[in-house]
Amino acid sequence: MTADPPHSASRAPRFSLTVVGEIRVDIRVRLDSLRFGEIDTDQLRYSPVQITPAGVALGLARQAVRYFDRVELIARIGRDEFTETILAELAELGIECRLTFVEGASTGRVLVVRDSAPRDGVRLMVSEPLSDAQVLSPADVRTASRAVASADVLFLTGYELLYPRSAEAVHEAAAIARSHGTLVCLDMVPHDIHLRLDSRLLLSTLRLADIVVGEAGTLASLVGETCASPAHLLPHLDRALDDHPVWLIRSGSGNVSRSTIYRHGLIHHDYATGYQAASDPMGFGDRLTARELHWLLSCLPLAGRSAQGSSPRKVSRKRSRVANVP
């Protein structure tokens, strides 16, 4: 492969990214001297508690501003004590917001407890279930359709597939993207999504995507394989999706120390991501995904799956086509 590796992706080319998904509030605690496996009775521990805006969509957008000229975020949030904190962070990051505010509803909260295992620790995540009022809707996406149509990449997450209404919103966003030549990237989270959704439904949704991000173990389970080696998985992924998206496969330590970038007949590049040498592993996976998306746009002849057959590189032509999108 002649292109530089993703480590050295330059920010010079001007691309835009639109992210669709959840904004939540994380309540984070790290236990510095306790492993979960050691707990067999009630414990009282003291540790700093961090409350921060979070969610997969916001996490990706937060990292993407390093690489993309414009980042927009489509989400639905409540009106509560965290609203102004969320808006302030989005403004500080320079993320353009396309938010639906739900009066009388709170922003979903997630309790994240990490034990003292090396690096990131083992995480226990307890998520507050969302009510219908808190879940993204197709109407939210249609209201922000210009942000989807004008982007070079649309980023979607599997979390939205867990609720019927937000799953419809994902399909709505993908349809708008496809009709305007916008590349569609789907992140296969949560990592046990193959246990939460019927595999046939999941595979049909993956056919909407030009780029799929997933851990090797998740993808192995999806195609019914026990071996999660990326090299072993590639022919099985080719058979599962014969329209051949680009696969960004995570493996190794922490399921992120190695990345395999693969598309049948176009690219097969496996490399060390630098995770083990990172001084701060928080957000590393999102940073890796944002960097690789920018690199793919910069270096490979990708085009969104639209009848118009546009290339994401032809930004000026793309902008002229979406002048009539609201």
Average the pLDDT over 52-77 and give the result. Answer: 96
Q: Is the pLDDT of residue 1 over 50?
A: no
Distances in Å between the Cα of 167 and the Cα atoms of 157, 201, 326 are 10, 11, 22
Do the domain assignments include residue 116? no
Q: Is the pLDDT of residue 148 over 70?
A: yes
d(CA 82, CA 52): 9
Do the domain assignments include residue 175? yes
Give the count of domains, the chain: 1
CB 93 within 8 A of CB 66: no
Do the domain assignments include residue 30? no
**pLDDT class for 146, splitting at 50, 70, 90?**
very high
Element (H, E) at 69: none
Q: Please report the pLDDT score of residue 89 as a whole number.
A: 96
Boundaries of domain holding 208: 10-22+56-104+132-317
Distances in Å between the Cα of 250 and the Cα atoms of 1, 31, 43, 169, 210 are 20, 26, 35, 27, 17
Percent of the chain with pLDDT over 90: 75
Give this prediction's pTM: 0.89
Q: Across the chain, what does the average pLDDT equal?
A: 88
Do the domain assignments include residue 100? yes
Q: Please report the pLDDT score of residue 199 as a whole number.
A: 86
Q: Is the pLDDT of residue 183 over 70?
A: yes
Do the domain assignments include residue 110? no
Q: Which residue has the higher pLDDT, 317 or 66?
A: 66
d(CA 131, CA 307): 37
Do the domain assignments include residue 241? yes
d(CA 264, CA 261): 10
Question: Beta-carbon neighbour count of residue 7 at 10 Å?
Answer: 12
**pLDDT class for 96, splitting at 50, 70, 90?**
very high
Distances in Å between the Cα of 194 and the Cα atoms of 159, 204, 255 are 12, 13, 17
Q: Please report the pLDDT score of residue 47 as a whole number.
A: 94
Do the domain assignments include residue 84? yes
Q: Please report the pLDDT score of residue 56 as a whole number.
A: 93
Distances in Å between the Cα of 203 and the Cα atoms of 138, 200, 237, 275 are 21, 5, 10, 29
d(CA 174, CA 316): 21
Q: Please report the pLDDT score of residue 312 as a whole number.
A: 37
Average the pLDDT over 171-187 and give the result. Answer: 97
d(CA 280, CA 257): 14
Q: Is the pLDDT of residue 17 over 90?
A: yes
Q: In terms of Cα–Cα distance, which of 100, 98, 93, 92 is closest to 73? A: 98
Do the domain assignments include residue 274? yes
Q: Is the pLDDT of residue 7 over 70?
A: no
CATH of the domain at 248: 3.40.1190.20
Q: Please report the pLDDT score of residue 196 as a whole number.
A: 94
